[in-house]
């Protein structure tokens, strides 16, 4: 009880001085051309992020975060839950290699371990319901044994679908019936260990899932049809969703359980509502409230948040939708998408020291014919290995004519393959290389030039042999082929 109160007070203080205490972001690394860790860490620092959440104990990210002054949450992927649940010694090994080592030997300021990622998501069909809690308990036990019980807290990042409201209003909130007992056991456990409840809230997905969702209700600028809940009026779905959780916690005996928002954000491409303009409106609205120290009707002080996400990831699974690769407030290379005041009254600062491949593009040859029998399979081939999510209906390059569309696909493939010799010759004579930027003017559709990862590697460790590099690109290619298989299916279907 004492620890819970202490934590609540601390939380209140942090909330009130949010700007001093900074802002968190998610750093995902599912990209064909990931930015080097040191550049990403500099990007975070330049923009005032002082907390970061990683989806796994990525050695490159953790090394770069050493002695950076950035507080780190290390995630554990769902596919590791079963083995961590099976024995404490597996958890001890994980903590030793992935937490203790980085704290003691690399100076990484690890504050949290996030066990699993939305493990109780309805679409997972109970795949992780038996393992998440035992894994959490074993990781906690391992942290205590490693002497880190006080400094490193555990939690489980949960999707907002772990709670619901029958009444249609936040005050009716309770945990989902099928996992209610489990949720209460987990919250009791977190509470006993001074750990927070972590939830991901996505107004964009509410809009995406329901074509009748009132669009203004997704943002923070008021709505003509608010939700009235007794004496409280809700004008945005973020507040309503968050307060539904607060009600669920209250109802089950945890009125002052601290809540952290593990992910919140808005994508900029891959769907007609995934627009730059909307992303800016949503994120700026959210950040302004936090800067003002504004919380929700039920929790007046703002929660700690981790923006999703820092940078785009072009190799993420697009099972949830094409927008999945476009959540970054920065593009994959650390360039700025839109102006955003993160609460420090400064504009965003782009990544520095990024090396690019040559300024050349692979496009459809001027004399090539779209009726060519090889045309459809050439585009399919390109989009199987490269990211074509910007070509979909309502996306940034969705309005291209058929030739420009093919050019975009060919170029994406060419860039993804690092402009390697022969990469632009894969399209049955339908393509050529050009040095004139084919991106349409006055459009947000951009024909990418990828970053030069081999030059960055050389910067980071000058000794890498070319054999090593060859090996790396083969491993990468295999990885990408597997990842992209799902998008091929997607395109075919």
Q: Whole-number minimum distance, CB 380 to ligand NAG, in Å?
A: 6
Nearer residue to ligand NAG within complex by CB, 49 or 490:
490
Alpha carbons 58 and 75: distance in angstroms, whole number: 9
Q: Which is nearer to ligand NAG, 95 or 248 (CB)?
A: 95
Which one from 263, 313, 324, 484 is the annotated catalytic residue?
263
For ligand NAG, give the closer residue by CB, 93 or 457: 93
How far, CA to CA in Å, does 337 sit from each of 267, 280, 295, 340, 432?
Answer: 11, 9, 27, 9, 29
Annotated catalytic, 118? Answer: yes
State whether the Cα torsion 401-406-412-414 is positive or negative: negative
Phi, psi of 371, deg, nearest 5: -85, -5
> Which lies closer to ligand NAG via its Cβ, residue 142 or residue 310?
142
- Sign of the alpha-carbon dihedral angle for 236, 239, 244, 245: positive
Residues that bind ligand NAG (CB under 6 A): 56-57, 93-94, 97-98, 339, 347, 379, 383, 388, 391, 402, 405, 409, 491
d(CA 457, CA 44): 20
Please answer whether residues 396 and 349 qualify as being in contact, where contact means their C-beta atoms are separated by less than 8 angstroms.
no
Q: State how far the alpha carbon of 15 is from the alpha carbons of 22, 155, 258, 294, 295, in Å.
A: 10, 19, 11, 9, 9
- As measured in angstroms, the least distance from the Cβ of 445 to ligand NAG is 12
- Residue closer to ligand NAG (CB basis): 259 or 379: 379
Catalytic residue of the set 56, 92, 118, 313: 118
What is the nearest approach in angstroms of ligand NAG to the Cβ of residue 97?
4
Shortest distance, position 58 Cβ to ligand NAG, whole Å: 7
What sign results for the dihedral spanned by CA atoms 207, 208, 212, 216? positive
Whole-number Å distance between alpha carbons of 245 and 263: 15
Closest distance of CB 55 from ligand NAG, Å:
8
Q: Measured at the alpha carbon of residue 328, what is the angle toward residues 326 and 331, in degrees to the nearest 5?
A: 85
The three-class DSSP label of residue 109 is strand
Q: Confirm whether 263 is a catalytic residue.
A: yes
**Residues involved in catalysis:** 118, 263
């Amino acid at each position: 009880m004492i620890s819970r109160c202490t934590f609540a007070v601390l939380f209140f203080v942090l909330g009130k001085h949010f700007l001093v205490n900074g802002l968190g972001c998610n750093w995902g690394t599912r990209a064909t051309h990931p930015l080097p860790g040191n550049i990403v860490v500099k990007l975070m620092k330049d923009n005032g992020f002082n907390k970061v959440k990683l989806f796994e104990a990525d050695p490159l990210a953790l090394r770069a975060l050493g002695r950076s002054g950035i507080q780190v949450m290390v995630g554990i992927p769902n596919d590791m839950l079963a083995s961590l649940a099976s024995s404490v010694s597996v958890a001890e090994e994980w903590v030793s290699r992935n937490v203790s080592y980085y704290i003691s030997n690399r100076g990484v300021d690890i504050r949290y371990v996030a066990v699993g990622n939305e493990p109780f998501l309805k679409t997972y069909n109970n795949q992780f319901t038996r393992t998440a809690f035992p894994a959490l308990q074993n990781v906690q036990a391992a942290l205590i044994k490693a002497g880190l019980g006080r400094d490193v807290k555990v939690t489980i990042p949960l999707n907002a679908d772990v709670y619901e409201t029958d009444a249609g209003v936040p005050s009716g909130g309770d945990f989902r019936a099928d996992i209610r007992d489990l949720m209460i056991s987990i919250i009791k456990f977190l509470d006993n260990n001074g750990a927070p409840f972590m939830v991901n809230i996505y107004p964009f997905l509410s809009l995406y899932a329901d074509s009748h969702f009132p669009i203004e209700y997704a943002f923070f600028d008021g709505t003509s049809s608010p939700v009235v809940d007794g004496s409280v009026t809700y004008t945005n779905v973020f507040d309503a969703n968050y307060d539904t959780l607060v009600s669920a916690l209250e109802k089950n005996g945890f009125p002052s359980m601290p809540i952290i928002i593990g992910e919140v954000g808005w994508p900029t491409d891959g769907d007609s509502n995934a627009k730059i303009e909307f992303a800016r409106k949503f994120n700026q609205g959210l950040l302004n409230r936090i800067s003002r120290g504004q919380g929700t009707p039920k929790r007046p002080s703002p929660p700690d948040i981790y923006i999703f996400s820092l940078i785009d990831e072009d190799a993420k699974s697009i099972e949830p939708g094409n927008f999945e690769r476009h959540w970054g407030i920065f593009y994959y290379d650390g360039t700025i998408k839109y102006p955003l005041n993160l609460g420090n009254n400064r504009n965003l600062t782009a990544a520095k020291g990024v090396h690019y491949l040559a300024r050349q593009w692979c496009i459809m040859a001027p004399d090539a014919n779209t009726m060519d029998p090889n045309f459809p399979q050439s585009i399919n081939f390109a989009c199987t290995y490269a990211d074509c999510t910007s070509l979909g209906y309502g996306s940034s390059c969705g309005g291209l004519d058929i030739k420009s569309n093919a050019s975009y696909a060919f170029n994406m493939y060419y860039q993804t393959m690092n402009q390697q010799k022969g990469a632009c010759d894969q399209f049955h004579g339908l393509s050529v290389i050009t040095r004139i930027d084919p991106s349409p003017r006055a459009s947000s559709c951009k024909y990418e030039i990828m970053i030069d990862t081999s030059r960055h590697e050389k910067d980071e460790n000058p000794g890498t042999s070319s054999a090593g590099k060859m090996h790396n690109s083969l491993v990468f290619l295999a990885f990408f082929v597997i990842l992209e298989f799902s998008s091929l299916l997607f395109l075919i279907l």
